A and B are shown apart, each in its own frame.
Chain A
Amino acid sequence: MADLLSTGVSGLLASQVGLSTVGHNISNVNTAGYTRQTTSFNARAPQYNGGYYVGQGADAVSVQRAYSQFLTQSVWSANSGQSRATQYASLTASVNNAVSGSANLQTALDGFFGAVSDLANAPVDTASRQALIGKASTLVSTFRSLSSQFQQIDQQTNQEISNSVDSINSLARSIADLNGQIQKAYAGGAAPNDLLDARDQAISQLSQVVGVNVTQGSDHMVTVSVGNGQPLVNGTDATKLSTAANPYDSSRMEVVGPGGSVISGQLGSGSLGATFDFRTNVLDPARNQLGRSAIALTDAFNKQHAQGIDLNGDAGGDFFTIGDPAVFNNTGNTGNAQVTATVTDVGKLGSADYIMRYNGTGWSVTTSAGVTVPSTGTGAAGDPILIDGLAISVPSGTPQAGDSFQIQPTRNAASTMSVAVSDTNKIAASGPLAATKASGNTGKAILGALTVTNVADPAFSTPANIVFTSPTTYTINGGAPQTYADGDTITGNGWTLKLSGVPAANDTFTVKPAGSASGDNGNALALANVANKGVLDNGVTTVGKSYSQLIAQVGTAGAQANTALDAQQSILDQAMASQQSLSGVNMDEEAANLLRFQQAYAASAQVINAANTIFDSLMTAVRG
């Protein structure tokens, strides 16, 4: 007869394993990455007892994870997407906060142009001149403060990149170590459930930082690659990624693979990929747009300012100053060429950055995104390379084939802006010329608008005497006779003068420099009108409009990021729900299992008791 005692003991032991597993599940109910485990039992091989088999109890044969490779992989992938969206939304929100904060550029622009108008109302008043310089300083500091907020966000992305690379390296190391431990643990034939969970959890954490691609090997080890196939973990080996300064712009950080090549652009999803994407697609365009606004304002205002004369009677100098486009040498350059760039036509200036390469015979220019830019010129002295409103020249040094340079025309322009005028007398509010009708004129012609067309004309400041030799002909400074009809415009050296009415013979009109202390407000009116003048995009976009474009650009990026985050969050929730539905611990289920195994244990104990009782009965019978 089969051994009832050992059968009871087998049930006792099997139930103990079941109870332990339930206990383990309950204990790990809140452990991240834990996979619910179940115990499976087998009936022991029966004993042949001549004519029939008698069962010999049960064995706990394995403890398994409730695991699906597919569901886990989809959680990893959703994790990458969600973490990317979170990071992108949070960085984009910081740019949004920068432009919606108190440093409102539009208010500063309005205040500045308001002060220019006030100057036009009181052109020789020192207080209105002082107020204008004050408002100009406010405007410049607003430009600078926005620019520095953007720069801080740029620094923050550097910090994010560095932290992300550190955590990638440490997670890669753990995964490689766990690979080794798992392979050893499998030597006994059983799956090391908790080690597998730990490895999955490490991969899940890695997937938050960077998109991963995981392949199961036959040796129970996993191969992990990131981004576009960059291998990271292979067996027990982990590749180390590192950070390095951008070869052009040392202020920005890039991710470098083990071979030394820059892999920043190949990282795909995850928070690290989002950081690079944000930098390229949100931050840089916003900074460039801000810089472009600053350049446009400086250029348009200075040009108009130069058209007027100040209280000393001198032509207006620069009102604002702004730095030239930044040019960076590639650290790998072997030649010693120096490259400089200047803005020649703000109307054509875009918000791209450019890379200029030398192939041994000539230069070619592409945008930083790699789009070829048509250019003219050789870059030699007197023949600069002309692209998109920029003139690039190589004034000194000799380039070698393969040398390259990066040109950032607008990136940091706003931070280099400053007010050049500090002396109130140097504000050129007055028009440069004054027209006079001689007091002895007998005709009825009167002065109309005097318009400046070209202050650079060499004879611009030469006084011009317009003498009518008859009601229909006139000479300028005794030159060739010209014909005049009522309402005609007389053209001089860099100016035009409209007359109306019929003059008499010998009537004289004079155009000459207005001189110092002129209370004319002609140029101040023109300066105030710069606010409404299309400057950018071939004379279409005003400075103010370029700022509202920046707002729309940043706002749209923010809105898109928020929508993407909502979508990614629900994808992750679904993936997690499916995976947790299979692998998560349900306490009610565990409670039921606890009862089940408790009862089985008690029953097995009862079997042992029965075995004991029948053995006692036998002994009593034998003793008689």
Chain B
Amino acid sequence: MRISTSWGQQQAVDSMLDRQYQMSQTQLSLGNGKAIQTPADNPAAAARAVDTNSASAQNDQYTRNIQSATTRLSVEEQSLSSAGDILDRIRSLTLEGMNGTQTDESRQSIATELRQTLQQLVALGNTKDGQGEYIFAGNRTTTQPFTIDGLSVNYGGDQGQRMVAAAAGLQVATGDNGADVFMSIRGGNGTFVTSAGATNTGTAVVGATSVTDASAWDGGSYSITFTSATDYEIRDVNDPTNTVLSTGTYTGDTGTIAFKGAQLNLTGNPATGDTFAVGPSSSQDVFSSVAGIINAFEAPGGGAAMNNQINAQLQNLDQAATSFLDTRTKIGARMNTLDQQTQIGADVKLQYADTLSSLQDLDYASAISKFTQQQSALDAAQQSYVKMQNLSLFNYLK
């Protein structure tokens, strides 16, 4: 076959250019470490890399969300732990004040200290998170939730709860509103409350109360009236006929009164005509419980009336302590969830990085060996071209 001299040369030059281009492509990849320079190099991998990058970015965002939520929850946990300590302090001060050896003056000084602790409790309710938002204000995070006026504390927040996206489809609460934690605390023993009649003259004091049979307790309001120092009658307050439901006897210094699954422990001796009321628990805020204790201490006289009031409030304080503890348990559970999610996020991040690397990162070993191959191919093309060019019949025509 004839070879056209100029076409043959062109072909040789083309093949050198082609090899040079391939080498420059490999060199480009070696330079920036990417296996895909444009989507045309590998359309499916390029599209998957975009998706994976996006998923990875979202995963990183979830990790950041979790960090911010953890910070907020830690602040809340810390304030509730302090609030629990304050309740303990209030309790010991109260027990100290109830001691029979105290005088009106010494009770007054305990009340003064209790006023301090009430302020501290309010300050804890107004704790802010790292971004300056009130954590116990529900969604009114820019409004101070608790304001104190004398002994009465008002809640200005709402009942919203902030959530954080911790993973696709997983939202975790990053706070609890002050209404749930501090304000809506069930009074008494959580089921019913007791109170002594304002005109009682005896020394009987209601101590611990409990529910012995939850199915028998019907949530009604009842009155216990002592018809003598030892006999009492129980009536349903809402019964217009005022029928006596049951009667019983209370003898001596200590004893229990039980009816409809409720049990009251009494100490001291009632007088004829003394009354005690038993009614369903309603919401009670921790601040007014403390305020009740302060009021009881500040009222002169002490005695059974004060003890009855304070015993009821101490029960309320127990409920508040339980509420704080419950909330802290919830926080612990949330932080556990977030920790787990952080772990999962870290694992997933590695997987994404691995996938991305296999999709778009250059395999240096194979790229360098390819480069070397291409180099020798170009070298061969150049050398053979020069040899071919020297082969001309004209060289011999002298």
Task: Name A residues whose Cβ lies closer than 8 Å to a Cβ of B.
Answer: 29-30, 36, 92-93, 96-97, 99-100, 106-107, 109-111, 113-114, 117-118, 120-125, 430, 434-437, 439-442, 447, 504, 514, 517-522, 525, 528-529, 531-532, 544-545, 547-549, 551-552, 554-559, 561-562, 573, 576-577, 580-589, 591-592, 594-595
- How far is B393's CA from A106's CA once the two chains are assembled, in angstroms? 63
Residue A447 contacts which of B40, B65, B159 (CB distance < 8 angstroms)? B159
Q: Are B38 and A96 in contact (CB under 8 A)?
A: yes
- How far is B159's CA from A558's CA once the two chains are assembled, in angstroms? 57
Task: For the complex formed, measure the closest distance between the CB of B191 and the CB atoms of chain A, giving whole angstroms.
Answer: 11
Q: Are B39 and A434 in contact (CB under 8 A)?
A: no
- How far is B184's CA from A440's CA once the two chains are assembled, in angstroms? 9
Q: Are B47 and A434 in contact (CB under 8 A)?
A: no
Q: Are B159 and A435 in contact (CB under 8 A)?
A: yes
Q: Which residues of A contact B183 (CB under 8 A)?
A: 439
Chain A residue with the shortest CB-CB distance to B3: A586
Task: For the complex formed, measure the closest distance between the CB of A90 and the CB atoms of chain B, giving whole angstroms.
Answer: 12
Q: Are B2 and A584 in contact (CB under 8 A)?
A: yes
Given A109-B54, A595-B397, does the pair A555, B46 have CB atoms closer than 8 Å? yes
Q: Are B165 and A519 in contact (CB under 8 A)?
A: no
Q: Report 8 cross-chain contacts, Cβ distance below 8 Å, ordered by A residue.
A: A93-B40, A96-B38, A111-B57, A114-B64, A122-B68, A124-B141, A552-B39, A580-B4
Given A436-B159, A439-B184, does the pair A591, B397 have CB atoms closer than 8 Å? yes
Q: Are A517 and B143 in contact (CB under 8 A)?
A: yes
Given A121-B65, A121-B68, A585-B5, does the pair A430, B139 have CB atoms closer than 8 Å? yes
Task: For the complex formed, measure the closest distance between the CB of B117 and the CB atoms of chain A, giving whole angstroms.
Answer: 23
Task: For the complex formed, measure the closest distance between the CB of B23 and the CB atoms of chain A, giving whole angstroms.
Answer: 17
Residue B4 contacts which of A436, A529, A584 (CB distance < 8 angstroms)? A584
Task: For the complex formed, measure the closest distance between the CB of A304 and the CB atoms of chain B, giving whole angstroms.
Answer: 14
Q: Are A97 and B2 in contact (CB under 8 A)?
A: no
Q: Which residues of B contact A114 (CB under 8 A)?
A: 57, 60-61, 64
Q: Which residues of B contact A107 (CB under 8 A)?
A: 53, 57
Q: Is B148 in the interface zone, CB < 8 Å from A?
A: no
Q: Are B283 and A120 in contact (CB under 8 A)?
A: no
Given A124-B142, A520-B162, does the pair A591, B57 have CB atoms closer than 8 Å? no
* The 9 nearest A-B residue pairs measured at CB: A584-B4, A558-B40, A555-B39, A555-B43, A519-B141, A110-B57, A591-B393, A552-B47, A580-B4
Q: Are A591 and B392 in contact (CB under 8 A)?
A: yes
Task: For the complex formed, measure the closest distance between the CB of A496 and the CB atoms of chain B, giving whole angstroms.
Answer: 16
Given A436-B158, A588-B392, does the pair A442, B280 have CB atoms closer than 8 Å? yes
Residue B140 contacts which of A96, A121, A518, A547 (CB distance < 8 angstroms)? A518
- How far is B282's CA from A96's CA once the two chains are assembled, in angstroms? 69
Q: Which residues of B contact A591 (CB under 8 A)?
A: 392-394, 397
Q: Is B281 in the interface zone, CB < 8 Å from A?
A: yes
Q: Are B7 and A580 in contact (CB under 8 A)?
A: yes
- How far is B131's CA from A124's CA once the two chains are assembled, in angstroms? 9
Q: Are B393 and A592 in contact (CB under 8 A)?
A: yes
Q: Are B283 and A440 in contact (CB under 8 A)?
A: yes
- How far is B40's CA from A110's CA once the two chains are assembled, in angstroms? 23
Q: Are B137 and A545 in contact (CB under 8 A)?
A: no
Q: Are B184 and A93 in contact (CB under 8 A)?
A: no
- How far is B159's CA from A109's CA once the two chains are assembled, in angstroms? 34
Q: Are A434 and B2 in contact (CB under 8 A)?
A: no
Q: Are A113 and B58 in contact (CB under 8 A)?
A: yes
Q: Which residues of A contact B397 (CB under 8 A)?
A: 591, 594-595
Q: Are A117 and B139 in contact (CB under 8 A)?
A: no
Contact pattern, B 132-150, Cβ under 8 Å of A = 1, otherwise 0? 1100011111110000000
Given A551-B43, A558-B39, does the pair A121, B69 have CB atoms closer than 8 Å? yes
Q: Are A552 and B139 in contact (CB under 8 A)?
A: no
Q: Are B392 and A581 in contact (CB under 8 A)?
A: no
Q: Which residues of A contact B394 (CB under 8 A)?
A: 587, 591
Contact pattern, B 96-136, Cβ under 8 Å of A = 1, otherwise 0? 00000000000000000000000000000000000111000
Contact pattern, B 37-75, Cβ under 8 Å of A = 1, otherwise 0? 111111110111011011001101100110011000000
Q: Which residues of B contact A124 (CB under 8 A)?
A: 133, 141-142
Given A440-B282, A548-B47, A556-B43, does the pair A519, B133 have CB atoms closer than 8 Å? yes
Chain B residue with the shortest CB-CB distance to A510: B159
Q: Which residues of B contact A552 (CB under 8 A)?
A: 39, 43-44, 46-47
Q: Which residues of B contact A96 (CB under 8 A)?
A: 38-40
Q: Which residues of B contact A110 (CB under 8 A)?
A: 53-54, 57-58, 61
Given A113-B58, A520-B160, A525-B171, does the pair A582, B2 have CB atoms closer than 8 Å? yes
Task: For the complex formed, measure the closest distance between the CB of A503 and the CB atoms of chain B, giving whole angstroms.
Answer: 12
Given A434-B158, A434-B160, does the pair A584, B282 have CB atoms closer than 8 Å? no
Q: Is B271 in the interface zone, CB < 8 Å from A?
A: no
Q: Which residues of A contact B163 (CB under 8 A)?
A: 521-522, 525
Residue A120 contacts which of B37, B46, B164 (CB distance < 8 angstroms)? B164
Residue with the highest number of chain A CB atoms closer than 10 Å, among B54, B133, B281: B54
Residue B392 contacts which of A504, A551, A587 (CB distance < 8 angstroms)? A587
Q: Are B64 and A117 in contact (CB under 8 A)?
A: yes
Task: For the complex formed, measure the closest distance between the CB of A20 and the CB atoms of chain B, giving whole angstroms.
Answer: 18
Chain A residue with the shortest CB-CB distance to B168: A532
Q: Which residues of A contact B54 (CB under 8 A)?
A: 106, 109-110, 544, 548
Task: Mark out the residues of chain B between 365 and 396 whose CB falls within 8 Å of any chain A CB in the assembled complex.
Answer: 392-394
Given contacts A29-B5, A117-B64, A439-B183, 20 further A-B contacts (CB under 8 A): A36-B4, A96-B40, A99-B38, A100-B36, A100-B39, A117-B61, A121-B65, A122-B133, A124-B142, A439-B184, A440-B283, A531-B58, A551-B43, A555-B42, A555-B43, A558-B40, A584-B6, A586-B2, A588-B392, A591-B394
